[in-house]
Amino acid sequence: MTDPAAAVLATSSTFSWNPVADWQALTAHAFMRDALLAGTIAAVVSAVIGYFVVLRGLVFAADALTHIGFTGASGAVLLGLNPIAGLLALTISSAVGIGALQQRLRGRDVVTGMILVEALGLGVLFLRLSSGYSNQTYALLFGDILALSVQNLVVLAVAGAAALLATAAIFRPLLFASLDEEVAEARGVPVRALAIGFVVVVAIAVVAATQVIGALLAVVLIVAPAATAQRLTHRPLLGIGLAVAIALLVTWTGIALAFWLPYPVSFFITSLGAIAWLAVWVPTSRRLGAPARHAAHAHAAA
């Protein structure tokens, strides 16, 4: 699967300090243009939806969805279907389940963890049963953005656009319910339906990110830019814009680095994401500090 890309990469021009020449080299091949396009879609979708994933404390649930996605994709391979179809089908249907159970799953890390691991185990079984394409396994787990088909790009674009539109449509009630579920409910926000709907949107972001950096690493594109942005600004819309900017920077830089250096795209993207988050997290944690916030109950003290 990686052969044509690898061949081109092996003979690709070396990095120059001329940005125009570098840009031309980077976009000279169709697979690189497709990769940049896919990376752009995945970055935008993941960052926007990731903002709410972080706000709602759904990071672990999103991670479970990536692993379920792997199972869906490997199951599709076993049945001779397009992996992205299986990926979408299984993540979205499990998202409905997770969304419906959310209230009861909150704080149930053991349940989520077991589902996550079991999904991965099943995925391994499906891959072995389908006589184990090692390339495909690798692509599913760690991503293979340089070998995306046009068909997958189209699916990615359509699903991504749908997820973004849905998020924009439910933006204010979702923010309300994320900050203050009880008041939102009393005010008439359909909090349960919103919770389920949002996890479905998360499933689409997971699929998009999986296309770029694989099931095991997808969650970094969803979490790192959003968590970084939330530390930098406390305005929701600005925060989402900033998360998108960080995600794009991380993804484009990651793809470019992999073009000139002999290491995988996924490694660069995850590392850059982690670096961006750390670079913001360390100084802001010190500034915000952790003072003793709540005085003991007055009567207990009295």
Partner 1 sequence: MAMTAADRAASTTGRTEAPRQAPARPAIALRDAGVSLGNRWVWRGADASIGEGEFVVVLGPNGAGKTTLLRVLLGLIPLQEGSVDVLGHRPQRGRRQVGYVPQRRALDRDLYVRARDLVSLGVDGTRWGIALPGARRRQQRAMVEEALHAVGASAYADQPVGQLSGGEQQRLLLAQALVTRPRILLLDEPLASLDLRSQAVVSSLVSGIARERGITVVLVAHDVNPLVSVLDRVAYVARGAVTIGRPEEVITSAKLSELYDYPVEVLRDSRGRIVVVGLEDRDSHHD
If one counts every other C-beta atom within 10 angstroms of the C-beta of residue 178, the result is 22
Q: Least Å distance between CB 289 and partner 1?
A: 9
How would you class 282 by CB atoms within 10 Å of its CB: exposed for 0-12, middle for 13-18, buried for 19 or more? exposed
Looking at the Cβ atoms of 155 and 223, the one nearer to partner 1 is 223
The string of DSSP letters for 87-154 reads HHHHHHHHHHHHHHHHHHHTT-HHHHHHHHHHHHHHHHHHHHHTT--HHHHHHHHH--GGG--HHHHH
In the complex, the smallest distance separating the C-beta of residue 45 from partner 1, rounded to whole angstroms, is 16
C-beta of 171 vs 260, nearer to partner 1: 171
DSSP string, 249-293: HHHHHHHHHHHHSSS-HHHHHHHHHHHHHHHHHHHHHHHH-----
Q: Which is nearer to partner 1, 8 or 175 (CB)?
A: 175
Compute the least distance from the CB of residue 251 to partner 1, in Å: 23
Positions that interact with partner 1 (CB under 8 A): 54-55, 57, 168-173, 175-176, 179-180, 182-189, 230-231, 234-237, 239, 288, 293-302
Nearer to partner 1, 109 or 118 (CB): 109
Smallest distance, Å, CB 286 to partner 1?
A: 13
Nearer to partner 1, 59 or 85 (CB): 59
Indicate if the alpha-carbon torsion angle 236, 170, 244, 199 is positive or negative. Answer: positive
Q: How far is the CB of 115 from partner 1 (least distance, A)?
A: 24
Contact 209, 68 (CB under 8 A): no
Nearer of residues 97 and 236 to partner 1, judged by Cβ:
236
Determine the Cα angle at 17 with ends 11 and 18, to 5°. Answer: 90
Shortest Å, Cβ 291 to partner 1: 9
